[in-house]
Structure 1
Amino acid sequence: MTSIDPGRLSLIELFQEEARGQAQILSDGLIALERSPRDPVTLEASMRAAHSLKGAARVVGVPVGVTLAHVMEDCFVAAQEGRVVLDAGYIDMLLRGVDLILQIGQARNIDAQTVLEREVDAFVDGLNARLAGTGAAFEVAKIAPQDDAFALSQELMLAKPPVEEPEPAAPEPAPAPAPSRTNDARMLRVRADTLDRLLSHSGESLVESRWLKPFSQSMLRVKRIQHDASRALERLNETLGETQAAQLDTRAHAALDEVRRLTAEAHRQLSERLADLENFDRRSTYLAQQIYDEALACRMRPFVDATGGFARMVRDVARALGKDVRLVIAGETTQVDRDILDLLDAPLGHLLRNAIDHGIEASALRRALGKPEVGTITLEARHSAGSLFISVSDDGAGVDIDALRRAVVRKHLASGETAARLTEAELLEFLFLPGFSMRDAVTDVSGRGVGLDAVQDVVRQVRGSARVTQEAHAGTRFTLQLPLTLSVIRSLIVEVAGEPYGLPLAHVARTLVLPASAIDMLEGQQHFSFDGRRVGLVTAHQILQTAPFEAAGDALNVVVIGQGAGSYGVVVDRFLGERMLVVQPLDKRLGKVRNIAAGALMENGDPLLIADLDDWLRSVEKLVSSGELGPVGAGASRVSVASPKRVLVVDDSLTVRELERKLLASRGYDVSVAIDGMDGWNAVRGADFDLVITDIDMPRLDGIELVTLIKRDAQLSGLPVMIVSYKDRAEDRQRGLDAGADYYLAKGSFQDQALIDAVRDLIGEAKS
């Protein structure tokens, strides 16, 4: 077998591009034929795709491609003529042929090409073996590459399916038709970064065009001033009266008349110029908006571009699991930002595999439940309320909430009592945690607990959100809410320390004006009531490390960010309104700027920074864990109480935490709190403490595991740890001490002084 001529590599690349398109047609057609094996339209489309590939392979001189496409074409012709029925076995083999098509051209040396040729020969032999009993078997000889001109002339003819009559001699090549000058569908290749720059420049032009609006408004004010001057002159004439006017000399009369004339002329000229300015403003803004919309449209692609291989993947995974599943795709024409579309392949693949493995039941069970034997998974994309919504839903069994609750307890993510109190919505959120899986054994499809975690990571990258809902025996739905484009963000503009910042609205839960009287102290931190729960309060000044916050009055401007228990209220200086911001990426040489996602320009041309609100939340959590969260109020500034002895209290009970905090704080200790073992572990790694007091039974990470982690850490091993627990059995005490705890105190028996004495024994008085 000869190697491919390097001079033909560009043709090979063109062939590969065509092969990808035709392979997608074949893949979609074969999956459709599995449901309707005699559908004439699908058979014709599949046969034509194979025929086109055969011609393209012959032109570029890839005989293995000619052989492969030829045998597939003949198989489709046999199906058209009723000699074979394309059942699941045939579909499996022909899909294997599609995979081989995609490998053609990638083999750039003799050995690789030889391997590919052997695989193609095995494919042909296997297909013939299946056809042997039907009378439709055929022999395929290797087709050597023909002269390019002859091959091209052959392919310019639309060859018909084989018939019994001998094939006519090939006609002379027909001249290619001249390209149409009015072909609106002409395509050009443009680099992605060129489109990005075009969008950036068009966004700037849109901002610049809007600069005329305030200028026009200022001119209107000038016009009103000029009009007021004319009226004042008229009142002057009335005041002078005829008697006083008669006393004016000729020169004064002439000057007064000249003032009247010039004022009237200025009024006329200003009115005309102002009308011209308004027309120019309207036209330029419209044109800039059109240019921007067209540039933005260049970044958009139909959702179907991201779904090409999903039908094949669903079929293969379902067959591997012994299930019968069909995929329905809705909203194929929904326009999606190119960058978002490129990121969707892996997350949607995870969700689809998850639906097949965890959602859809086996056919026998579905039949027993009165469901159709074939399970249905629906992949849908739609625009709504300025966002892109993509959902993956199935008609399967839904999530077994009881099994999910047991898995949460088994993985020590919550105690049995805590898990029993969790609502269905709260339990479903555990599915997105890293490493979480309801499978006990790892398979090729699931069990490693990385699928939904990966989905969550990608969604967060594009400033979106993910949620899951389910109904027992009716199915599960995963919904991704994503921005329409990464180039434009609808943002809330706020002022912090005299600078504007854009907060993406997708991450803003609420804005409110909070009276100072609504702020309470809880566990040493300031909170306020929001939607029936307590939400912590922090200033944007402290997050961004700007000048200290000074409250202008008794009311605070608060932005609520985050979700559920992870919500915080962020105090800003002023609300400046909502804007559509054209995202300007920061210079890559800056790296990741803490708390900042990108830049943008306001309508007046002033620059601003777009906040990374996920970073803001992480910054707040770090401030909380390190005990450096400053107070909010008049004259408040970033302060942290410095105490010689710092104590971390770790307990999932609010009552116990607050009791221990107040007791120790009253003795002069600087006390920080953590709500569970994982929170405590993060705290001790992020700040220095003199003592850790921990409970045992806690979600995510219990006290024994926390003690073990601390004592195994080279930098933390010397940190004293006291266990305070309701468990008072000898074996419980021994378990805690074996883990490395320095002191064990039972909650049910200790008095206030007992706790203080134990702390003093371990670290001494609050102040040295």
Structure 2
Amino acid sequence: MNEEELQKRLIETFHLEMDEHLQVMSEVIPGMKFNSRDEDKLNLLFRAAHSLKGAARSVGNSQVEDICHVFESFLSELKKSDKLISKDDLATALKNLTALKRLRNSNSGEQILPKDNDLSKSLQQDEEETQRSLVRGAVNYANESIRLPSFILDDLLANTSELKLLVSSGNSVLENIGKVEKVLSHLCTSNRTEAIQDIDKASKMLSSLKEQTKKISSELQNRLKTLEKVVLKSRLKPISDACEPVQAFLRSEERTVNFEARGVHHSTDRYIVERLTTVLMHLARNSIEHGFEDTQERVRQGKAPHCKIEIEVRKEGRNIRLLYADDGKGIDRDRLRKAIVGLGDVSLNDDINLNVLFQPGVSTSEKVSKVSGRGVGLYAVQCAISEMRGSIAVESTPGNGIQFDLVIPQDLANFDVLIATVADTNIAIDPNHIEYTCSLPSSYKYKNVHNHLIEIEGKTYPIIELPPIFIGKATLAKAAIVLKHNSHKYVLIVDQLIGLESVIVRTLFEQIGESPGLSGAAIRDGRDIALLIDVAHVVSFNLTSPTRRGFTENTNIINKNSRTVLVVEDSITTRILEIAILEEAGYKVLSAEDGEKALALLHANNIDLVVSDVDMPIMNGFELTRKIRATSALKSIPVILLTARENSSDKLAGLEAGANAYMKKGQFDQSGLLEIIKGLIGQ
């Protein structure tokens, strides 16, 4: 990729990122109420303004950067104070949003803004509408019978889950009382008359206590179920809410697109609906930008002149299945093959798996528009689906369109998992990642498996192993779980299959930090814990671990011996720029959007050096550096911090955290960065 092509890709990616941040602002600001305070919304706005500022700096867009800097400073002061949001505060937020939208809607996205006085005058024209928006918000607020911040619902749901665990503990106590009763009954055979009378009396009291406890436990469970249903219902939103922006988007397009949505009355968790909106918008943009033929070509092929997008939603047990389809030209496999070869991942061959479309940078588009064609959209879709604990698959027949099959949970409070044991450790796996399970013959021996392959029912699968950091190998090897990930199949050998169970999921990051392949703890009935396996990270571990040489999901993947650099950056525009610079210099590059995900990659891969942003969500660069230095297996990895912070105290903080170098982002010296990297790890 030459410099001109890179710059073009960066600008187009920046436009996409700007659109997404503006969408967040457009959704959050109108929903804020004056004389109230919503920390969640303030944090969302601050994050959007900060990330957009960093992205603008990466492409040299000083106008957007300046507005975001002012907006970010305003929000920072607002966050520091304890005051309620005023009408003036909302008006200021709307003015900043309007300025950013006007700049984005200019022909190039880089139009010079008016002078400060002209801008103020221009924005003043929107003041009347701004005030009307605020009044409408106040009226809506007054008409609502009750309005709860989302974090209260989250806390209420979490407490409900804890009560559920207490019920399980109560059942365990009940079981122990039964055991005591049996012991006392046995003592009744003693010859001591008085003791027998006392013991008999105690036995009757215990029996009575047992019955009372049963009754209380049963009533508590019933009340808890009712409470849980009410709380879950309050979090539900119809999937039609996620379809409305798609309909509005299609109506705004020049060409006519018939949109049909069936079964969208089904509801799911509001968190899922919000992310599903982003997913459907990405898919719709893909269809519009490069999925459909022109009208003349459609008629020539015997298709209806108007394009068609269909969404069908079905409830399947505790999951929601959503099918998205368009009737366009489908995937051009030859073009896809060339795109993949261009990235250096495979050689030319006839076996192309369509799920490579979800990899970053893969695109079959002949053109790059302001919202598509750079291989980012479907990667973002897969990331969003993973966050929802769901799965996605794609199918396409040339000339007959494309179909996406999404499976997502209906709620996130209760989770069905398959429980199995490996090396005396209970593990839990999301059934959405399971193709099927089977028993292994008693003659099976783990050491007999060659080249990490196993034949089951006439088919050969690669075997994956769990990262040894927290689980050993299966020793009994009585069963196999055939897992699916990105349409590839893998086999996990386990000692025993226990079965499907409904569990409550808890994160373990605060207790043990980030662990590769482990996404949390599945708390079972009776408070037993099973380790919840992150299938995607486990597959990544097997693909990259030096102890798994020869393991691959695709025999055409090229193994490179170049040094590996991990780029950690929340702005996709900046991330792409840094990746391009490093790859051009001959380094293999992995990337993460925050420190927490970076730690997972560090544990699962052989990383030679880390280049990290400082200001990131979840875990910032300082925290990431400290955790790297505190982990024996990682502490020798060099870390370079790139940041917009210019204070000497910030640089000192970075170096004290353990960074090997600290560089300013603003117009950073590309050759200087490469020289530092070369000095630390060579080339």
Q: Quickly name the TM-score band, shorter chain normalised.
A: 0.5 to 0.7
Q: Could you tell me whether the CA contact under 8 Å between 1:352 and 1:392 is conserved in 2?
A: no
Residue 413 of structure 1 and its aligned partner are, at CA, apart by 5.6
Residues in 2 aligned to 1:442 and 1:518: alpha-carbon distance in whole angstroms: 53
Residue 529 of structure 1 and its aligned partner are, at CA, apart by 1.0
Out of 470, 481, 485, the residue aligned to residue 559 of structure 1 is 481
Partner of 1:489: 415
Residues in 1 aligned to 2:489 and 2:31: alpha-carbon distance in whole angstroms: 55
1:504 pairs with 2:430: yes
Unpaired runs of 5+ in structure 1?
1-9, 18-59, 65-95, 100-106, 121-141, 157-178, 234-251, 630-647, 650-671, 688-708, 715-768
Q: Cα distance 1:15–1:393, how it changes in 2: closer, same or farther (>3 A)?
A: farther
Residues in 2 aligned to 1:343 and 1:472: alpha-carbon distance in whole angstroms: 29
Query: How well do the aligned residues superpose, as a CA RMSD in angstroms?
Result: 4.8
Residue 198 of structure 1 and its aligned partner are, at CA, apart by 2.0
Cα deviation per residue 1:226-260 (whole Å; 9 max; x = unaligned)? 66777x69xxxxxxxxxxxxxxxxxx9xx76x788
1:431 pairs with 2:367: no
1:582 pairs with 2:504: yes
Partner of 1:301: 237
- Give the counterpart letter for 1:551 in structure 2: T
Q: Could you tell me whether the CA contact under 8 Å between 1:497 and 1:546 is conserved in 2?
A: no
Partner of 1:448: 374
Residue 471 of structure 1 and its aligned partner are, at CA, apart by 4.6
1:621 pairs with 2:543: yes
Residue 287 of structure 1 and its aligned partner are, at CA, apart by 1.7
Percent of residue pairs bearing the same amino acid type: 22
Residue 328 of structure 1 and its aligned partner are, at CA, apart by 2.8
Out of 110, 118, 121, the residue aligned to residue 114 of structure 1 is 121
- Give the counterpart letter for 1:612 in structure 2: D
1:196 pairs with 2:154: yes
Residues in 2 aligned to 1:197 and 1:203: alpha-carbon distance in whole angstroms: 10
- Give the counterpart letter for 1:306 in structure 2: A
- Indicate the structure whose relative CO is greater, using CA pairs within 8 Å and at least 6 residues apart: 2
**SS of structure 2 residue aligned to 1:379:** strand
Residues in 1 aligned to 2:587 and 2:32: alpha-carbon distance in whole angstroms: 55
Out of 258, 280, 288, the residue aligned to residue 348 of structure 1 is 280
Residue 205 of structure 1 and its aligned partner are, at CA, apart by 0.8
Residue 602 of structure 1 and its aligned partner are, at CA, apart by 2.7
Residue 325 of structure 1 and its aligned partner are, at CA, apart by 0.9
1:280 pairs with 2:204: no
Residues in 1 aligned to 2:396 and 2:424: alpha-carbon distance in whole angstroms: 47
Q: Could you tell me whether the CA contact under 8 Å between 1:512 and 1:557 is conserved in 2?
A: yes
Residues in 2 aligned to 1:412 and 1:354: alpha-carbon distance in whole angstroms: 24
**SS of structure 2 residue aligned to 1:442:** coil
1:207 pairs with 2:165: yes
Residues in 2 aligned to 1:260 and 1:287: alpha-carbon distance in whole angstroms: 40
Partner of 1:326: 258
Residue 433 of structure 1 and its aligned partner are, at CA, apart by 3.1
Residues in 2 aligned to 1:222 and 1:520: alpha-carbon distance in whole angstroms: 44
Residue 479 of structure 1 and its aligned partner are, at CA, apart by 1.9
Alignment of 1:219-238 (within 5 A): 219-221=177-179
Cα deviation per residue 1:527-559 (whole Å; 9 max; x = unaligned)? 32135432344554xx1325765735xx43443
1:544 pairs with 2:471: no
Q: Cα distance 1:361–1:448, how it changes in 2: closer, same or farther (>3 A)?
A: same
Out of 348, 370, 389, the residue aligned to residue 321 of structure 2 is 389
**SS of structure 1 residue aligned to 2:402:** strand
Q: Could you tell me whether the CA contact under 8 Å between 1:519 and 1:527 is conserved in 2?
A: no
Out of 545, 559, 570, the residue aligned to residue 680 of structure 1 is 559
Partner of 2:295: 363
1:595 pairs with 2:595: no
Q: Could you tell me whether the CA contact under 8 Å between 2:361 and 2:376 is conserved in 1?
A: yes
Residues in 2 aligned to 1:507 and 1:301: alpha-carbon distance in whole angstroms: 25
Larger Rg: 1
**SS of structure 1 residue aligned to 2:365:** coil
Q: Could you tell me whether the CA contact under 8 Å between 1:538 and 1:569 is conserved in 2?
A: yes
Partner of 1:570: 492
Residue 349 of structure 1 and its aligned partner are, at CA, apart by 1.2
Residues in 2 aligned to 1:509 and 1:197: alpha-carbon distance in whole angstroms: 35
Per the normalisation by structure 2, the TM-score is 0.57
Cα deviation per residue 1:422-469 (whole Å; 9 max; x = unaligned)? 3xxx54333333322222232335322222222122222333221122
Q: Could you tell me whether the CA contact under 8 Å between 1:324 and 1:363 is conserved in 2?
A: no
- Give the counterpart letter for 1:446 in structure 2: S
Q: Cα distance 1:202–1:269, how it changes in 2: closer, same or farther (>3 A)?
A: same
Residue 614 of structure 1 and its aligned partner are, at CA, apart by 1.7
**SS of structure 2 residue aligned to 1:544:** coil
Q: Could you tell me whether the CA contact under 8 Å between 2:165 and 2:525 is conserved in 1?
A: yes
Q: Could you tell me whether the CA contact under 8 Å between 1:526 and 1:537 is conserved in 2?
A: yes
Q: Could you tell me whether the CA contact under 8 Å between 2:488 and 2:553 is conserved in 1?
A: no
**SS of structure 2 residue aligned to 1:345:** helix
Per the normalisation by structure 1, the TM-score is 0.51
Partner of 1:477: 403
Residues in 1 aligned to 2:369 and 2:559: alpha-carbon distance in whole angstroms: 34
Residue 382 of structure 1 and its aligned partner are, at CA, apart by 3.5
Residue 203 of structure 1 and its aligned partner are, at CA, apart by 0.6
Residues in 2 aligned to 1:482 and 1:410: alpha-carbon distance in whole angstroms: 33
Residues in 2 aligned to 1:710 and 1:361: alpha-carbon distance in whole angstroms: 35
Residues in 2 aligned to 1:713 and 1:309: alpha-carbon distance in whole angstroms: 41
Alignment of 1:71-90 (within 5 A): none
- Give the counterpart letter for 1:545 in structure 2: I
Residues in 2 aligned to 1:713 and 1:361: alpha-carbon distance in whole angstroms: 39
- Give the counterpart letter for 2:148 in structure 1: R
- Give the counterpart letter for 2:293 in structure 1: E
Q: Could you tell me whether the CA contact under 8 Å between 2:344 and 2:558 is conserved in 1?
A: no
Residues in 2 aligned to 1:684 and 1:519: alpha-carbon distance in whole angstroms: 36
Residues in 2 aligned to 1:403 and 1:550: alpha-carbon distance in whole angstroms: 43
Q: Cα distance 1:614–1:222, how it changes in 2: closer, same or farther (>3 A)?
A: same
- Give the counterpart letter for 2:469 in structure 1: Q
Alignment of 1:41-56 (within 5 A): none
Q: Could you tell me whether the CA contact under 8 Å between 2:418 and 2:430 is conserved in 1?
A: yes
Q: Cα distance 1:548–1:12, how it changes in 2: closer, same or farther (>3 A)?
A: closer
Residues in 1 aligned to 2:587 and 2:297: alpha-carbon distance in whole angstroms: 51
Cα deviation per residue 1:177-235 (whole Å; 9 max; x = unaligned)? xx9xxx9x712232x333222222211110111223343344445556666777x69xx
Q: Could you tell me whether the CA contact under 8 Å between 1:379 and 1:391 is conserved in 2?
A: yes
Out of 309, 314, 317, the residue aligned to residue 250 of structure 2 is 314
Unpaired runs of 5+ in structure 2?
1-28, 37-86, 92-101, 106-113, 566-582, 589-683
